């Protein structure tokens, strides 16, 4: 997939990571972890809506909302799993506001483009790849209706 | 040993009480020369959210594993890691971590492969430290590099390779994974990602003793009487046995290795770090499914 097909907000997140030294990339990931928003009131009592991301070692749940062809991603993960929270937060910020087509066309390798493989290990990064795949699957299900 | 051992009464009954320290003992000695505290976690960012004052971080993926070969780092890289962590050959190292010290025990086992003499676990790990309401800091220490000698890894005493396990069949094996993994319902711990094993089940004759049986609800190790019930009466281990423990990639079985070796005094315990992700993909090795240990095939 060519460079210009990555939506601006995702490209900006990627560039923010790539500008940093390895150690600082972890700090930025931690900032994302801390920024993961609380679930909106209307979803707090609806664990049934959320899908568990099995590819992650820590319990993380995601939920995609599609309205007027615009994607909103919500996620919840415990504070003792900051890496997973960071991954979820990057995707929640990076995907929310995009059109369904923009998310579906996003390369599945986006997580690998952030320069995090060395900092967190490729095995851990698989959790984020799984999260993106599940987000896309939910969008396909919801926009097919 | 550089620093006196923790005389806490709950450790006295163990075969190697010098391998454990309590949170009280550690808190009193933070900053003491000759002591380095190491945090080792499953989550690579947990240290950055707050850690024990002065603790350095050692990560199993990015620091202890060779980035290319499925193996541990070599003596030269271990020496570099120790140097930048401020650890000398005679330093007392206390390791703690998340998940009731899974990865801390794994790190301790790797330190032991390199013959680092004085390496101990903080009983209860991160969870207990937090439950006690003890302090964390965000400040990362800047250790003074040390001259750590290059020591070759000694793989023959506490580490088992697949051929060692094949030759070992007939002697006690302890499978420390969950009952679901043991029986063959799944290849990874419940709620964990599937991680590359082509077959499910366990090594013939292995006793199932999930690692977590060795710890109490607060994350500290159980007293010796309870450990005896679990491992001697329950799993039939006897003094003098040659024992191999395994799990999925060797981290949970490091925890059991620690228990058998340092708390219960079994002298010939090896950790098979290839574990199920290797055995479950090997061609033509025997596997048993179901809840029973099964028989060792005749050779």
Across chain B, what does the average pLDDT equal?
A: 94
**How much is the average pLDDT of B116-139?**
97
**DSSP secondary structure of B26-79:** HHHHTT-TTEEEEE--SSTTGGGG-BSTTPEE--IIIIIB-SSSSSB--HHHHH
pLDDT tens for chain A, 145 residues long, are 455 579 999 999 999 999 999 889 999 999 999 999 888 888 877 777 777 776 666 778 899 999 999 999 999 988 889 999 999 999 999 999 999 999 999 999 999 999 998 888 887 888 899 899 999 999 999 887 5
Q: Do B43 and A83 touch (CB under 8 A)?
A: yes
Nearest to B45 among A29, A55, A130 (CB): A29
- CA distances from residue A132 to A71, A73, A107, B15, B192 in whole angstroms, order as listed: 13, 10, 10, 49, 17
pLDDT at B189: 57
pTM of the shown model: 0.90
Q: What angle do CA B83, B107, B198 make, to 5 degrees?
A: 130
The ipTM, to two decimals, is 0.79
Interface of A with B in 103-142 (CB under 8 A): 118-121, 123-124, 126-127, 130
pLDDT at B237: 98
pLDDT at B298 > cutoff 90: no
- CA distances from residue B242 to A66, A67, B134, B154, B261 in whole angstroms, order as listed: 59, 63, 40, 18, 11
Nearest CA in chain B to A84: B43
A40 or B141, higher pLDDT: B141
pLDDT at B238 > cutoff 60: yes
Residues in chain B, how many?
299
Contact A46, A83 (CB under 8 A): no
Instruction: Encode pLDDT of B240-258 as tens digits.
Output: 999 999 998 898 999 999 9
Nearest to B61 among A55, A56, A123 (CB): A123
- Whether B180 is catalytic is no
pLDDT at A45: 78
Write out the two tokens for A104.
Answer: 């579906």
Instruction: For residue B120, give every residue at least 6 positions away whose Cβ sits within 8 Å of its Cβ, in sequence order, or none.
Output: B18, B19, B20, B21, B92, B93, B94, B95, B108
pLDDT at B201: 94
How many H-runs (helices) and E-runs (strands) does chain B carry? 9, 9
Instruction: Encode pLDDT of B33-72 as tens digits.
Output: 999 999 999 999 999 999 999 999 999 888 999 989 999 9
Measured between alpha carbons, how far apart are the two ends of chain A, in Å? 28
Chain A: give the shortest CA distance to residue B47, in Å: 10
Q: Considering only CA atoms, which of A30, A75, A32 is closest in space to residue A51?
A: A75
Catalytic hit among B165, B206, B244, B247? B247
Kindly state the percentage of chain B with pLDDT values over 70: 96
The pLDDT confidence band at residue B209, using thresholds 50, 70 and 90, is very high
pLDDT at A59: 78
Measured between beta carbons, the chain B residues lying within 8 angstroms of A121 are 44, 59, 61-62
A57 touches chain B (CB under 8 A): yes
pLDDT at A1: 47
**How much is the average pLDDT of B3-11?**
96
Write out the two tokens for A115.
Answer: 């320069």
pLDDT at B191 > cutoff 70: no
Q: Do B44 and A58 touch (CB under 8 A)?
A: no
Per the DSSP assignment, residues forming a β-bridge with B119 are B93
Give the Cα separation of B248 and B176 in Å (integer): 9
> In which order are the strands placed within the sheet that holds A51-52?
A51-52, A61-67, A70-76
């Amino acid at each position: 997939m060519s460079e210009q097909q990555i939506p601006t907000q995702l490209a900006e997140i990627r560039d923010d990571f790539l500008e940093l030294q390895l150690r600082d990339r972890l700090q930025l990931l931690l900032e994302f972890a801390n920024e993961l928003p609380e679930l909106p009131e209307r979803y707090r009592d609806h664990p049934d809506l959320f899908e568990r991301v099995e590819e992650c070692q820590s319990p993380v749940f995601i939920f995609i909302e599609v309205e007027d062809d615009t994607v909103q991603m919500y996620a919840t993960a415990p504070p003792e799993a900051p890496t997973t929270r960071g991954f979820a937060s990057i995707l929640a910020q990076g995907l929310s506001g995009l059109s369904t087509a923009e998310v579906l066309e996003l390369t599945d390798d986006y997580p690998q483009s952030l320069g995090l493989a060395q900092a967190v290990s490729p095995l851990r990064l698989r959790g984020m790849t799984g999260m993106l795949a599940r987000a896309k699957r939910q969008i396909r299900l919801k926009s097919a209706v | 040993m550089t620093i006196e051992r923790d005389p806490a009464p709950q450790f006295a009954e163990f075969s190697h009480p010098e391998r454990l320290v309590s949170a009280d003992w550690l808190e009193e000695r933070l900053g003491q020369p000759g002591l380095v505290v190491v945090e080792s976690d499953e989550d690579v960012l947990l240290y950055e959210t707050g850690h024990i004052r002065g603790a350095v971080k050692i990560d199993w993926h990015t620091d202890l594993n060779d980035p290319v070969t499925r193996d541990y780092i070599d003596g030269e890289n271990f020496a570099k890691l120790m140097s930048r962590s401020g650890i000398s050959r005679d330093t007392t190292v206390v390791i703690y971590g998340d998940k009731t010290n899974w990865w801390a025990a794994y790190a301790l086992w790797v330190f032991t492969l390199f013959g680092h003499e004085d390496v101990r676990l903080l009983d209860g790990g991160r969870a207990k430290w937090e439950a006690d309401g003890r302090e964390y800091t965000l400040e990362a220490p800047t250790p003074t590099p040390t001259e750590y000698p290059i020591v070759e890894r000694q793989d023959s005493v506490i580490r088992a390779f697949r051929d060692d396990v094949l030759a070992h069949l007939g002697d006690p094996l302890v499978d420390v994974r969950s009952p679901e993994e043991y029986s063959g319902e799944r290849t990874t711990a419940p709620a964990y990602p599937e991680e590359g094993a082509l077959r499910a089940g366990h090594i013939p004759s292995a006793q199932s003793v999930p690692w977590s049986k060795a710890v109490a609800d607060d994350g500290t190790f159980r007293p010796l009487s309870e450990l005896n019930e679990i491992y001697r009466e329950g799993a039939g281990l006897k003094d003098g046995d040659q024992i191999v423990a395994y799990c999925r990639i060797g981290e949970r079985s490091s925890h059991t290795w620690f228990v058998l070796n340092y708390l219960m005094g079994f002298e010939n315990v090896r950790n098979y770090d290839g574990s199920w992700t290797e055995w479950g993909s090997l061609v033509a090795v025997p596997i048993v499914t179901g809840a029973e240990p099964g028989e060792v095939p005749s050779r």
